[in-house]
């Protein structure tokens, strides 16, 4: 298969999931903020793990250490703060709805402010994922990682 075809298949992942598994017809706007944050936990983790693995061959322990430092609530809170000015009105509204959602749980090693701010980022990224806008999600994450100095550079 050509590289272009492979990329198209990756971009169509959600469409394939919907088709093959009959995922509900809810629009992204209909999901709760915590539901959006829930789905993106896996998506964001996969994005960061892919970046870290792209650094080259290494020990899984080192991969995990780098990944954990980027996906934790404190790091996510810093990331969203650097990209707030770049969000559209729609994206900002989704972020704020996620940030303001009260959760029954909180992170073990994060302040409540960082936890809620990170939940807002996750809600936004989950929304973009379900809207089939991973290009935009990746653009925002890349900008945020670069501006916060969190872009993985070495093992």
Instruction: List, by residue number, the catalytic residues.
Output: 41
The answer to whether 36 and 123 have CB atoms below 8 angstroms apart is: yes
Handedness of CA 54, 149, 89, 91 (dihedral sign): positive
Q: How crowded is residue 89: how many other Cβ atoms within 10 Å of its Cβ?
A: 7
Distance of CA 107 to the CA centre of its chain: 17
End-to-end CA distance of the chain: 31
Residues 22 and 81: their CA atoms lie apart, in Å, by 36
Q: Where are the beta strands (DSSP E) in the chain?
A: none
């Amino acid at each position: 298969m050509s590289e272009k075809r492979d990329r198209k298949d990756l971009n169509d992942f959600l469409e394939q999931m919907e088709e093959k598994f009959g995922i509900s017809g809810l629009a992204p706007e209909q999901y709760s903020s915590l539901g959006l944050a829930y789905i993106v936990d896996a998506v964001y983790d996969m994005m960061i793990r892919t970046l870290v693995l792209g650094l080259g061959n290494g020990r899984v322990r080192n991969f995990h250490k780098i990944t954990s430092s980027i996906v934790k609530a404190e790091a996510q809170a810093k990331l969203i703060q650097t990209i707030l000015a770049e969000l559209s009105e729609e994206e900002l509204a989704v972020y704020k709805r996620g940030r303001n959602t009260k959760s029954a749980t909180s992170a073990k090693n994060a302040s409540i402010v960082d936890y809620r701010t990170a939940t807002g980022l996750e809600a936004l990224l989950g929304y973009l994922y379900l809207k089939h806008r991973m290009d935009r999600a990746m653009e925002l994450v890349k900008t945020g990682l670069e501006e916060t100095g969190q872009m993985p550079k070495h093992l």
